[in-house]
């Protein structure tokens, strides 16, 4: 594997298509230029292999034998010992006996011990290295004529390279001091037919959001996008296909997450997404306001700071932009298999939240849509296992990708179907063995080792009785993109036809009975539990409420859904408690925003009649307009009319006067709260006592009658006083006359 041995520079190797005279001569006493010494423990040595020399097979041309022509093998040899090695001879190895013709034989061979004798050394051709110091790396090249490769029976043969040398602690004893092995198929030129083979490149990764909706763990994303990161490796590996058909298996949430990172990782937006009458297209609003816009400014939550181009967030944006640009160029015109949004754990959803699968199919991915991609819906887990109960959730004719390990030999002695079908949905059977790569001890997932395993799995299908079963291979995420051209070019065999998954399943299908499939207990135990889906359901409800409150935003609920689905992915199985915490934090973020819209009422209200009014104040502390409803829940005998929805501008308040009606005396309580336009409570409440001075009609009649009697009594009394006053006036005049007429002392006294 080119690049696998990192202990120093490698001497130049003649290209595979060089003219014969330009190629190294087999067996020549050529000294490969070793690189400078380094720590031999830095070499990627298999843990069960302790040979002092490590050999790789970097090219093997062609990848399969025909009736004519030989092969050319090149690679590297490294000294992982602590002492120098000298006089190293490198020989090819081949086993002409009993070729492998079944998948079971290939599987058994792949598990053979590294030092087991599996073939004969071909000493007629060789290469050599004069000396290797500890940690040094050299290259080799050997051409093996067809005459030395005595393959006569169609099937798969052992092929490899042996290195023999001597050191001060080990003599040249004829035993191999280093080995590299692989499989070499032989398919006669006259063979008819071809094996339909679909190579699937999976793009799936755990996506974690901050409570505000931004992408968390930015540093890990930058590492993943690097050429040696999981995402970078797969993109580089697929990019070497050069127009050959392949299938992309994509979680639509992945390019959307990278789209957000490429735009500076903005948080969740509460700003306008709909145009108001007369405003035309909706705008982005204030770029510095995360509540009011689709901010292009980096999210600084989570302890990371935003800043200049030299800071990590900008490097992350550049890496995401570059990766997306590369992916966009590669997926156009290719088959894109779309997983449920967020790579939904279908088994967990089927057990705890039926119907979530349909919800996960609604978002198709903004980035894929912008690229004009028409994805093919599929379902499949990273391990290939799918809970049989999950088959029932697939009701949209999506292609089911299931590992061949689900068809156990006991119930399926003939193996899995070529193509299956369940309830109308096609089932594509993926090869687990092919993803394991070569037999070792050299790196199993080196491009050549992986390719030879794919070719071998296809070859045993071709030589089997009956029509050749198609081969669907999932590219392992740890594949090395360096040397990927060798992988793809080696698949250009006449008997192997590269195609897509959709074309593979477009043929006669055999019914699949989920009850007969193998689903290991350890897989069932990994499915996400009820607590995760309960928290997800609460978050989705909060997101819908928030959208109903926001006057000009019809997108936030979808954003929340997309974020939530990423929390219940297959990758979340490794940290279910973290998934619950993430969902809970996002829900709390939304509830905090909803709590920013509040209602308050007076300490008390007194009604002077059967009808009156109650003033309440609605406050919006958000920097975006909101529309809410007022709800009044009162005790019996009191009714408050809430009226129409209330719209508030950003950072504003308004007083609403509500009509109240009472049917009796006394104090009754009314509780005011706010809801969204669908009637869902927001949480803010206020309680106010309402006192009523209203009396009944009888009391009013009694009071009126009493008042009438009172006024009548007053009138009578006034008449009597007037009459009495008049009589008193008349009596006084008579007394004055009498006193004047009587001069006696008695009369004077009386007058006084």
pLDDT digits (tens, 9 = 90+) for 188-208: 998 889 999 999 999 999 999
CATH number of the domain that 340 lies in?
Answer: 3.20.110.10
pLDDT of residue 635: 85
Q: Is residue 296 part of a domain?
A: no
DSSP, residue by residue, 453-487: HHHHHHHHHHHSSSSPPPEEEEPPTT---TTHHHH
Which two three-digit tokens encode residue 426? 């096609």
Which residues does 690 contact at the CB level (< 8 Å), separation at least 6?
Answer: 604, 605, 606, 607, 614, 634, 638, 660, 662, 667, 668, 669, 670
Shared domain check, 708 and 686: no
**Residue position matching structure tokens 């927001």:** 682
Q: What is the pLDDT of residues 712-745, one digit of tens each?
A: 888 778 877 877 777 766 555 555 454 445 554 4
Q: What is the pLDDT of residues 390-424, one digit of tens each?
A: 787 788 889 999 999 999 999 999 889 999 999 88
Shared domain check, 59 and 152: yes
Q: What is the pLDDT of residues 172-184, one digit of tens each?
A: 888 999 999 999 9
Shared domain check, 373 and 225: yes
Q: What is the pLDDT of residues 40-76, one digit of tens each?
A: 334 455 677 789 999 999 999 999 999 988 999 999 9
What mean pLDDT comes out for the span 441-464? 94
What b-and-e string marks burial along 429-448, b requiring 16 or more CB atoms within 10 Å of the CB? bbbbbbbbbbbbbbbbbbbb
Shared domain check, 438 and 500: yes
Q: Are 185 and 456 in contact (CB under 8 A)?
A: yes
Q: Is residue 263 part of a domain?
A: no
Q: Is residue 307 part of a domain?
A: no
Chosen domain end from 671, 692, 713:
692
Residue 705 carries which DSSP code? H
What mean pLDDT comes out for the span 484-509? 94
Whether the predicted pLDDT of 24 surpasses 50: no
Chosen domain end from 692, 708, 725:
692
The order of strands in the sheet holding 638-640 is: 597-600, 611-620, 652-662, 638-640
Q: What is the pLDDT of residues 554-563, one digit of tens each?
A: 999 999 999 9
What mean pLDDT comes out for the span 480-509? 94
CATH number of the domain that 613 lies in?
Answer: 2.60.40.10
pLDDT of residue 30: 31
Q: Is residue 485 part of a domain?
A: yes
pLDDT of residue 746: 45
Q: Are 185 and 64 in contact (CB under 8 A)?
A: yes
Q: Are 391 and 406 in contact (CB under 8 A)?
A: no
What mean pLDDT comes out for the span 150-164? 96
Q: Is residue 287 part of a domain?
A: no
Q: Is residue 325 part of a domain?
A: no
Shared domain check, 724 and 676: no
22 burial type by CB count under 10 A (0-12 exposed, 13-18 middle, 19+ buried): exposed
Q: Which of 190, 160, 187 is nearest to 176 (CA)?
A: 160
Identify the weakest region by mean pLDDT among 25-29, 283-287, 618-622.
25-29
Shared domain check, 209 and 156: no
Q: Are 462 and 187 in contact (CB under 8 A)?
A: yes
Distances (CA, A) of 442 to 36, 312, 648: 22, 37, 69
Confidence of residue 388 (pLDDT cuts 50, 70, 90): confident
pLDDT of residue 694: 56
pLDDT of residue 300: 36
Q: Is residue 721 part of a domain?
A: yes
Which two three-digit tokens encode residue 301? 């939550």
Q: Are 647 and 625 in contact (CB under 8 A)?
A: yes
Residue 215 carries which DSSP code? B
CA dihedral (188, 190, 195, 201) positive or negative: positive
Q: Are 451 and 88 in contact (CB under 8 A)?
A: no
Shared domain check, 667 and 742: no
Domain that holds residue 111: 20-189
Q: What's the CA angle centered on 296, arms 292 and 300, to 5 degrees? A: 85
Shared domain check, 401 and 494: yes
pLDDT of residue 701: 62
Shared domain check, 172 and 43: yes
Whether the predicted pLDDT of 696 surpasses 80: no
pLDDT of residue 295: 36
Q: Is residue 49 part of a domain?
A: yes
Chosen domain end from 137, 172, 189:
189
Identify the weakest region by mean pLDDT among 43-52, 320-329, 341-350, 517-526.
43-52
pLDDT of residue 219: 87
pLDDT of residue 310: 41
Shared domain check, 744 and 636: no
pLDDT of residue 466: 76
Pairwise CA distance, residues 388 & 514, whole Å: 5
| Average pLDDT, rounded, for the chain | 84
Shared domain check, 728 and 681: no
As beta bridge partners, residue 197 has 471, 498
What mean pLDDT comes out for the span 583-611? 91
Whether the predicted pLDDT of 18 surpasses 50: no
Shared domain check, 621 and 638: yes
Total structural domains in the chain? 5
Q: What's the CA angle centered on 264, arms 262 and 269, to 5 degrees? A: 110
Confidence of residue 306 (pLDDT cuts 50, 70, 90): very low
């Amino acid at each position: 594997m080119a690049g696998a041995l990192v202990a120093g520079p490698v001497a130049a190797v003649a290209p595979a298509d060089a003219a014969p005279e330009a190629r190294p001569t087999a067996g020549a006493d050529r000294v490969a230029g070793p690189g400078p010494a380094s720590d031999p423990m830095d070499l990627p040595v298999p843990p069960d292999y302790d040979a002092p020399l490590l050999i790789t097979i970097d090219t093997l041309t062609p990848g399969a034998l025909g009736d004519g022509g030989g092969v050319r093998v090149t690679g590297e040899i490294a000294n992982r010992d602590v002492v120098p090695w000298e006089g190293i001879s490198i020989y090819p190895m081949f086993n002409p006996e009993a070729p492998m013709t079944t998948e079971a034989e290939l599987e058994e061979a792949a598990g053979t011990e590294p030092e087991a004798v599996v073939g004969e050394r071909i000493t007629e051709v060789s290469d050599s290295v004069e000396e290797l110091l500890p940690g040094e790396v050299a290259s080799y090249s050997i051409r093996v004529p067809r005459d030395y490769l005595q393959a006569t029976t169609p099937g798969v043969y052992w092929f490899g390279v042996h290195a023999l040398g001597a050191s001060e602690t080990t003599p040249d004893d004829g035993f191999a001091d280093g080995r590299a092995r692989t499989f070499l198929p032989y398919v006669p030129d006259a063979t008819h037919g071809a094996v339909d083979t679909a190579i699937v490149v999976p793009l799936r990764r755990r996506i974690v959001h901050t409570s505000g909706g931004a992408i968390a763990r930015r540093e890990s994303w930058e590492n993943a996008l690097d050429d040696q990161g999981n995402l970078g490796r797969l993109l580089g590996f697929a990019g070497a296909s050069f127009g050959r058909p392949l299938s992309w298996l994509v979680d639509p949430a992945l390019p959307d997450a990278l789209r957000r990172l490429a735009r500076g990782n903005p948080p969740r937006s509460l700003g306008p997404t709909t145009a108001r009458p007369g405003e035309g297209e909706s705008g982005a609003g204030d770029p510095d306001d995360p509540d009011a816009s689709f901010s292009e400014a980096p999210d600084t939550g989570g302890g990371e700071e935003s800043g200049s181009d030299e800071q990590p967030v900008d490097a992350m944006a550049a890496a995401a932009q570059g990766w997306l640009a590369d992916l966009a160029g590669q997926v156009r015109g290719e088959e894109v298999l779309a997983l449920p949004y967020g790579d939904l754990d279908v088994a967990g959803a089927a057990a705890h939240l039926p119907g979530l699968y349909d919800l996960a199919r609604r978002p198709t991915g903004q980035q894929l849509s912008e690229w004009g991609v028409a994805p093919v819906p599929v379902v499949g887990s990273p391990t290939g296992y799918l809970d049989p109960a999950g088959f029932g959730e697939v009701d949209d004719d999506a292609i089911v990708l299931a590992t061949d390990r689900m068809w156990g030999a006991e119930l399926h002695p003939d193996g899995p179907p070529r193509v299956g079908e369940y309830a109308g949905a096609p089932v594509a059977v993926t090869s687990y063995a092919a993803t394991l790569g070569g037999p070792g001890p050299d790196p199993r997932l080196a491009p050549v080792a992986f390719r030879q395993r794919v070719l071998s799995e296809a070859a045993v299908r071709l030589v089997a009785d009956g029509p050749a079963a198609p081969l669907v291979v999932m590219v392992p995420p740890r594949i090395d993109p360096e040397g990927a051209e060798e992988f793809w070019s080696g698949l250009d065999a006449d008997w192997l036809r590269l195609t897509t998954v959709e074309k593979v399943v477009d043929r006669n299908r055999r019914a699949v009975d989920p009850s007969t499939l193998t689903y290991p207990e350890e897989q069932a135990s990994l499915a996400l539990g009820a607590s995760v889906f309960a928290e997800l359901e609460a978050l989705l409800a909060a997101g819908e409420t928030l959208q109903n409150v926001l006057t000009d935003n019809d997108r936030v609920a979808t954003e929340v859904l997309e974020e939530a689905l990423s929390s219940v992915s297959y990758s979340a199985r490794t940290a279910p408690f973290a998934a619950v915490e993430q969902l809970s934090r996002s829900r709390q973020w939304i509830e905090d925003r909803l709590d920013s819209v509040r209602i308050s009422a007076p300490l008390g209200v007194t009604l002077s009649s059967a009808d009156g009014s109650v003033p309440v104040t609605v406050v919006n502390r958000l920097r975006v307009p909101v529309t809410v409803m007022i709800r009044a829940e009162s005790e019996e005998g009191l009714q408050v009319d809430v009226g129409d929805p209330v719209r508030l501008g950003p950072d504003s308040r308004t007083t609403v006067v509500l009509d109240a009606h009472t049917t009796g005396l006394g104090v009754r309580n009314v509780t005011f709260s706010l809801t969204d336009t669908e009637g869902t409570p927001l949480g803010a409440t206020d309680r106010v006592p309402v006192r009523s001075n209203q009396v009944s009609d009888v009391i009013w009649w009694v009071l009126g009658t009493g008042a009438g009697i009172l006024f009548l009594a007053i009138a009578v009394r006034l008449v009597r006083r007037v009459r009495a006053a008049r009589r008193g006036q008349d009596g006084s005049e008579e007394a004055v006359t009498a006193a004047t007429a009587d001069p006696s002392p008695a009369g004077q006294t009386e007058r006084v």
